[in-house]
Amino acid sequence: MTDPIEYKSQSFIGFLRRKVGHLHMGELLFSQWEAFVLWICDGLPGFPGMAMRFLAYKLLFKRLDGFAWVQPRVAFVQTDRLSVGRMFGVNSGTYINAIGGITIGNHVLIGSNVTISSGRHPIEGASPPVFARPAEPMPIVMEDDVWIGAGAVIMPGVTLRQGTVVGANAVVTKSTEAYSVMVGAPARKIRSRISTP
C-alpha cells in the first residue's frame, strides 16, 4: 500500500493525470466547452435569461424534450449524460452532476440549493487519498411528477419513483415508492400522496 504522505510531494500535473487520466480528450474538451457556455448564460436575468439557458441546454443535454424553466445560479456538470423530459423546473443554488447518468421524467420540479450527484467517491483503504480518486458512476432516475424540496440531497444510485415528494433538507439514500412523501436524514416515508379507500 502506498503511504498517503507520498501524495503530498507530488506535482499538480501528476495529480491531474491520476484524477482525469481515464478520460478521453473529447470528454475533457466537452467539459471545458460546457463550463464556458453555462458560465455565459448563468447570470442572465428574467425571461431572456431563461430562454438563453434553455437554448444552451438544448445544445448540451443528452436529451431535453420540452422547455426547461431554470433559474440563475444552477450548476450543471456532465450535461451530455443528462436526459430530461417535459416541464422541468429548477430553482437557484442547485447542483446537478450527471457523471454517472441522470434520467429525469416529465413535470419534475427541483427546489433551491438541492444537491443531486450520480457519482460517489470510493473511501475503502487509506491510499490514495479520497481527493485523488476518480468518482464511481451510479445513475440516478427521477420518474414523472417528482418534487424535490429546498436543500435536499439525492444520493448516487437512487430512483425517485413517480409522484415522489422529497421534503426540504431530506437526504435520500434509497429508492422510493411511487407517490411517497419522504422527509429526514436519512429520508423515510411518512405517508403516501394517494389516499386508500
The pLDDT of residue 122 is 86
Distance of alpha carbon 154 from alpha carbon 134, whole angstroms: 20
Mean of the per-residue pLDDT values for the chain? 89
Task: Write out the catalytic residue numbers.
Answer: 121
Residue 1 banded pLDDT, cuts 50, 70, 90: very low
The answer to whether 107 and 89 are in contact (CB under 8 A) is: no
Three cell numbers at 13? 500535473
Relative to beta strand 102-104, strand 140-142 is parallel
173 beta partners: none
The 10s digit of each residue's pLDDT in 91-115 is 999 999 999 999 999 999 999 999 9
The answer to whether 156 and 141 are in contact (CB under 8 A) is: no
The 10s digit of each residue's pLDDT in 25-80 is 777 788 888 888 888 888 888 888 889 999 999 999 999 999 899 999 999 999 99
